[in-house]
Each structure stands twice: as structure tokens, then as C-alpha cells.
Amino acid sequence: MNTPSTPNIHRGRVNGAAIAATPALAAVLDPDLVARVHAEATALLTDQLRTGEATGPAEHDTAVRQAIEAAVDAQSGRQLAAGSRPLDQDTRGRLVEAVRARLTGLGPMHALLADERIESINVNGCDNVHVRYADGTSAQVAPVAASDQELVDWVRQTVASAGGEERRFDRGSPTVSAQLPDGSRLFAVMALSRRVCVSLRRFRLARTSLASLQELGTVDAGLRAFLAAAVRARRNILISGGTALGKTTLLRALAAEIPDAERLITVEDALELGLDRTRADVVALQAREPNIEGQGEVPAAALVRAALRMSPDRVIVGEVRGDEVIPMLNAMSQGCDGSMGTVHASTSAGALLKLAAYAAQGQERLPLDASALLIGVAVHLVVHLEFAPDRATRVVSSIREVVGADGQQVISNEVYRPGPDRRARPAGGALSNDLRDRLTAAGFDPAALDAPDGWWT
């Protein structure tokens, strides 16, 4: 398989040209002048970041402005000392904006994030950079910084300008996460690994639908009809799968089947669903990490509890990772029918075990039999995603109906099971009468379950 061509990226340059967020400005101004002033402003700003003088968004904005003005003043002074005319007001204003565009942009990641084919970027040190493309291929690309320290400085500037809570990135606080202006999710670690590591996951807000997922080969016609009916029938759905398998994308597609008149409350660690941008009555809640003083944390569990007080028709949890599992299950079993969430798991059956483990480890410390009982009455369906054998196509491989609990065990039936190509096929006769009746009332034809090979083409 041919690897997609990649831009020539090195030290902030793409195909030999300097990266600039405002190329029109760079075309008018002397590029060397912009580069010199940018380098000086960066050094001034970096000094403030290293000393902890600009940790929050407001302080960072002030530090950026002061660093740029100081660097521009210094350049004007050098020109005057050399016998040249100092910067006039117009040139000064354009120079300030050109440097600001560089400082507040995506810096060394700009070209990679501008490549629509790239889904994720993993930096294992400044000169060991790997990208994964949407078609499943991966490649090593050119360095994104001249040194690991330069990479650290970029991370500090990026998280400081990302907004939200104050965050540090140093040996005392060696991990940090942030959402970039384009929606991409950044996670960085230092001191805990041999080199500074940065991971970026792309996010593209799109009006995803089950129809578009059928075109991509994620579902067939039968699965599409089954899932759409399950949403209309207000079944509580848990989506499971590994990392980067499209759980959020499928969740967004299922949410597109919810009638527009319904009120939705979404809870996420990072705002990725974007339902508040495509629907009228949606409140999107985002968990908040503690600030540099260890205060101000608002965990997802608290937000799920808050969501129940906001008159939701459905609650959607972006990802279940721990303490939020009990509030989510309570929401599902106490009137918010049709709620949804996602969980990392290797199989559809494993997803139920993961929920039980989270419930046992949470603040409530539910015993396993109580956890199983709560899951048995709260979750109706588990939809599992995995890669097809080509390692590029994401497919629904299993759908499991939860029918109750027996002691410490959650009882479930696999309605669709993986075929030889990992694509889900009807299991035959596994659907409960209750779910069959509900799906039929919502427009699903049970005859679609009689095709042993499904409706894949």
C-alpha cells in the first residue's frame, strides 16, 4: 500500500515556506523581519511561561501582547540606532498582527493539522513524529521542533492559550491535556518518559448519520434500520470498542435519529459531539480539571447528576471512565429512556464487565450483585465496533441485548455476532419478544434478522 505523501515539515516550515496564520501579512512584510521579531517575542514569552508568570488564559493573553510589543519596540530601536527610519505606525501594526498570528496559531503542528487526511499525530520527541491517516495507513514524518525543549515551550504556550482552567506543564505537573481551537485534543507528558511526548487526536465536526456510516461500510442496511429503530424506541444504548474506532462518530450518528423536539444534555471530558451546534435544545457540559492550586475540579460524575436536574429527555455521556457510571445508569433507569454513552472495551460482553468494574470501584462501592442488577435494568443494548481485517474500515461487529441479571452476572444475548470478516451478522432467534415488539412499533422489520449473512454488499 502506498503511503500518502506528506508535506516537508521542519522547524516551522512547509515545503520550504514559513508557516504563517495570515499569509497576506507575511507577503507584504519582509519575512526575515517577521521571523526576527517572532523569535524575540517567543523568547520573551517562553521566559514568562518557564517562571510561571503566565499560567492562565487571561495572564497568557497579556503576556503575548507584552512580549510582542517589547519585541517590536526593540526592532524599531535597532533600526533607529543603525541610522534607518524606525517602524512607522502602519508597518508596526501589521508586524504586531503577523507575529501575533504566529504566536497564537498551532505553530509546528499547523501543517499536519491542516492535512485533512491525518487522524492522529504522535510525537515521541521532537524528531520522532508519526501520523495515522484516515485510510488506516501510518507514516513517520519530519521533525516538528528543533529540540525537545522547544516542543515543551510550544505545549506550554498552546495549553495556556486554549482557555478554560489554568494548567502547568513542568516536572511538578508532568501531564497536561487541552482542546485546540480546531477541536483537536492534545495530551502531553514529560519527565515520566525518556523524551517529551505529545499526542493529538483530530476532531472534525460533521453531520454524521447512519446513512453516511452505511456508505462507509460501518453498518449494512439491516443494522442501520435496527439502530435507527432502537433510538426511536428509546432504548438505552452503550457503544463499545477500542481507541480510535469511531465510538463518538457512531454516537453522533445515533443522536441524529433523535427527534428534534427532544431536549438533550451531553456530558463529556472534551467537547467532541457538537450536538449543541446542530440541534436547538441541547446543553453541552464539559468536565473541568483542577487548576494549578488543585481547586475548581468538576468531574463528569457531578455533571451527570446536574444533567438530571435540567429536565432532559435524554442524557448522553461521551465516555464512561469511572465514577460517572452510577449516575449514568441511574439516569437510564429513572426516566431518561433513550440515553446513550460509550466505553472502551474489547468485546460487547466485555463492555458490561467494564461497567460492573467501574461501579464497584466508584464512590458508591456497589457490590457486584448490585452493580449487575443496576446494569441489567438500565442498559438495553451494547453496540460494539472493531476494525475489519484490512485494519482501515471500522465496522459494527456485535450487538448485544441486555435482558437482566443473575447474582453477579449481567445476562445478555448476542443479537448480531461477528462474521468471518468481523462484520455483524444476525445471530438468529436471540431477540427478546419485548425488544422485538418495541422495534417493530418503531418501524423495524424483524424479517431483516432472518438473513444469516446480513445485508453487506
- pLDDT tens-place string over residues 11-59: 333 333 333 333 333 334 676 787 889 888 888 877 776 665 554 556 6
DSSP state of 388: -
Report the C-alpha gap between 115 and 118 in whole angstroms: 6
Least confident of 66-75, 96-105, 389-398: 96-105
Cell numbers at 311, concatenated: 429536565
Q: Mean pLDDT of all residues in the chain? A: 85
> pTM to 2 decimals?
0.71
Helix (H, G, I), strand (E, B) or coil at 350: helix
Report the C-alpha gap between 135 and 119 in whole angstroms: 9
CA quadruple 206, 208, 214, 218: dihedral, nearest 10: 80
Contact criterion met (CB below 8 Å) for 152 and 50: no
Provide the pLDDT for residue 391. 85
Provide the pLDDT for residue 57. 52
Return the residue matching grid coordinates 445508569. 329
| pLDDT single digits (tens) 406-433 | 999 999 999 999 999 999 999 987 799 9
If you average pLDDT over residues 247-256, what whole number do you get? Answer: 96
Provide the pLDDT for residue 219. 97
Report the C-alpha gap between 330 and 325 in whole angstroms: 9
DSSP letters spanning 30-73: -HHHHHHHHHHHHHHHHHHHHTTS--SHHHHHHHHHHHHHHHHH
Provide the pLDDT for residue 237. 98
